[in-house]
Amino acid sequence: MVGIVAYGAYIPWHRMDRQQCVKAWGGFGMPGEKAVAYFDEDSVTMGVAAAIDCLGDGNAGAIDGLYFATTSAPYKEKQSAAIMAIALGLRRDVRTADMTTSLRAGTIAFGMALDAIKAGTASNVMVTAADMRLAAPAGMTEQGLGDGAAAFLLGKENVIAEIQGTYSITDELAGTWRAADDTFIRSWEDRMVQDEGYSTIIPEALNGIMKKYGLKPKDFTKVVFDSPVDGRRHGKVASTVGFDASQIQEPFSLFLKVGLTGCASAPMMLVLALEQAKPGDKILYAGSGDGVDAFILQVTDAITNLPARRGIKGHLASKKMMESYNTYLTWRGIVPQEEARRPAKTPARLSAMWRERKQQLGLWGIKCRKCGTIQYDDGAAATTPIRICAVCGAKDNFDDYGFSRKKAKVFSYTHDNLAPVADPPASVVLVDFEGGGRAFFDLTDRDPKEIAVGTEVEMTFRRMQVNRGLSIYHWKARPVR
């Protein structure tokens, strides 16, 4: 049996009421709010967060591949999945790939992971889809989009939803596009794009997969596929194919709270559906963009044993409303901010980043084999990785010790108004990890008022800066919510 072993999701903590766009630009406001990635987040960090949610306490060492789907990768040349593989603590002999440029990338990656497992080249593959597409200010597209991510671990054991069938079509229609040098999305006239694209190809694929496997709409508990901004069209497409309202995984709850998340849209809707699924449910799942991929999922008894996770519901419950649209513009770099009147940061040293990739990207420290002390060196001095134990002086006699999924408590903190950051004050914490180890971190996704000595935090993968085009990633602490 091959299928989904676990799922996870990520939605940024910061949300913006769509009325903020109306306040800024006038015009018509869509209902609800959109999720906005923080200034230190991007598709890579959100993808890692969803994968961590998916993995839980699971064994990263058992994963044989990582497929990352996005249309908003930080690099045009340079793989994102390779960064994520270190962040997630995967083995070195894994196959990684970025599936990019298509809004269908999330389901493409899902299908390719399935194929790899079926072919026997992998036993477990992590698929993560994340997007933060950018629409030009003052348009309706800007209001409709949101940022988010989903992840699925596909495998052969402890399958919670068996993948029983697949069907794909490819269709050439540049409904929305971004050229290699475009910052913002471009679109053709909506009616043509939706009528000849979305509303044509999704029924074609849904009907195609049912015909291929001899199934009818009544055989499915639920049909899950992505929606355009106009959610009514989504419902109409489903009913055209023969599904009734009770079978449709409605798109509104995500649209009103998160927005359309690009190639993570359909995967996030599937996570929402799986959160509500019961053993025996049959789900028809599809994602569109340059065609459609469709899948038949059979939910198994194992879903009742899946450990608790945040998923969509947990992330939706935790949020902070942004106070202004201007903040959004600056976080996305659409409007430049006055530079700090401080000396420029020293240029990135790629050689050092490479040398310390395991410590910086993977948050690996050590446990001394001689005295047992657990240690992470935050690299403030130029001495990482650790060569000499800080307690007993043992040299190079350590076991690797991962901190990325450990919780910690704030030992001390400050809110620093002098340090130049995009969202002052700079909140910095010195934390003591459960099980041992201490280190300094930036504190992100925080309300300064809620921080005290003893506040519980967890680690989150974030982008520290972009320097000479290099996205420099590391880990920050954030309050556990």
Partner 1 sequence: MPGSIKNRVAIVGMGCTQFGELWGKGPTDLIVEAVTEAVADAGIEMKDIQAVWSGTLFSGNGGRTVAEALRLPYLPVTRVENACGSGHEAVRGASYAVAAGIYDICLAVGYEKLKDEGMSGLPGMQNRTGTHYESSMPGVFAMMATRYFNRYGLTPQEGKSMLGKISVKSHHNGSLNPKAHLRREITLDQVLSAPIIAWPLGLFDCCGVSDGAAAAIIVRADMIKSFKNKPVYVKALQICASPTSGRMVTDYDYTHVEEAHRAGIAAYKEAGITNPRKEVSMAEVHDCFSITEAVTMEDLQFSQRGRVKEDIEAGMFDLTGSLPVQPDGGLKCFGHPIGASGIRMLYEPYLQFQGRAGKRQLKDPKIALAHNMGNEPYAPVVSVCIVGL
The window from 10-18, 115-123, 264-272, 337-345 that contacts partner 1 (CB under 8 A) reads 337-345
Q: Which residue of 119, 180, 308, 380 would you call a contact of partner 1, by CB under 8 A?
A: 380
Q: How far is the CB of 401 from partner 1 (least distance, A)?
A: 12
Q: Which residue of 353, 405, 456, 481 would you call a contact of partner 1, by CB under 8 A?
A: 353
Half-sphere CA count of 378, side-chain side, radius 13 A: 15
Residue 330, interface with partner 1 (CB under 8 A)? no
**How many whole angstroms separate alpha carbon 51 and alpha carbon 129?**
9
Q: Compute the Cα dihedral for 118, 123, 124, 130 and give only its sign.
A: negative
Residue 419, interface with partner 1 (CB under 8 A)? yes
Residue 329 CB-density burial (10 A; 0-12 exposed, 13-18 middle, 19+ buried): middle
Helix (H) or strand (E) holding 343: none
Residue 394, interface with partner 1 (CB under 8 A)? no
Residue 432, interface with partner 1 (CB under 8 A)? yes
**Neighbour order of strands in the sheet with 161-170:** 95-100, 65-70, 125-131, 148-155, 3-10, 161-170, 291-299, 282-288, 222-225
Q: Which residue of 128, 437, 461, 479 would you call a contact of partner 1, by CB under 8 A?
A: 437
Residue 168, interface with partner 1 (CB under 8 A)? no
**How many whole angstroms separate alpha carbon 251 and alpha carbon 245?**
12
Residue 337, interface with partner 1 (CB under 8 A)? no
**How many whole angstroms separate alpha carbon 187 and alpha carbon 141?**
9
The helix/strand/coil state of 391 is coil
**How many whole angstroms separate alpha carbon 255 and alpha carbon 266?**
12
Residue 253, interface with partner 1 (CB under 8 A)? no
Residue 348, interface with partner 1 (CB under 8 A)? yes
Find out whether 16 and 328 touch, Cβ atoms under 8 Å.
yes
Alpha helices by DSSP H, 306-449: 311-316, 325-331, 350-355, 357-362
Q: Which residue of 17, 162, 378, 456 would you call a contact of partner 1, by CB under 8 A?
A: 378
Q: How far is the CB of 236 from partner 1 (least distance, A)?
A: 49
**How many whole angstroms separate alpha carbon 311 and alpha carbon 131?**
16
Interface with partner 1: number of residues (CB under 8 A): 54
Residue 313, interface with partner 1 (CB under 8 A)? no
Residue 158, interface with partner 1 (CB under 8 A)? no
Q: Which is nearer to partner 1, 228 or 365 (CB)?
A: 365
Amino acid identity for residue 7 in this structure: Y
Q: How far is the CB of 324 from partner 1 (least distance, A)?
A: 22
Q: Which residue of 130, 439, 457, 459 would you call a contact of partner 1, by CB under 8 A?
A: 439
Q: Which residue of 76, 216, 381, 450 would you call a contact of partner 1, by CB under 8 A?
A: 381
Residue 346, interface with partner 1 (CB under 8 A)? yes
Residue 382, interface with partner 1 (CB under 8 A)? yes
Residue 385, interface with partner 1 (CB under 8 A)? no
Which of 135, 164, 158 lies closest to 147, judged by CA? Answer: 135
Number of Cβ within a 10 Å radius of residue 293 = 28
Residue 453, interface with partner 1 (CB under 8 A)? yes
Q: Which is nearer to partner 1, 138 or 453 (CB)?
A: 453
Provide the β-strand partners of residue 260. 145
Q: Which is nearer to partner 1, 174 or 391 (CB)?
A: 391
What is the binding site for partner 1 (CB under 8 A)?
341-343, 345-346, 348-349, 352-353, 356, 360, 373, 375-383, 390-391, 411-421, 425-426, 428, 430, 432, 436-442, 448, 453, 464-465, 467, 472-474
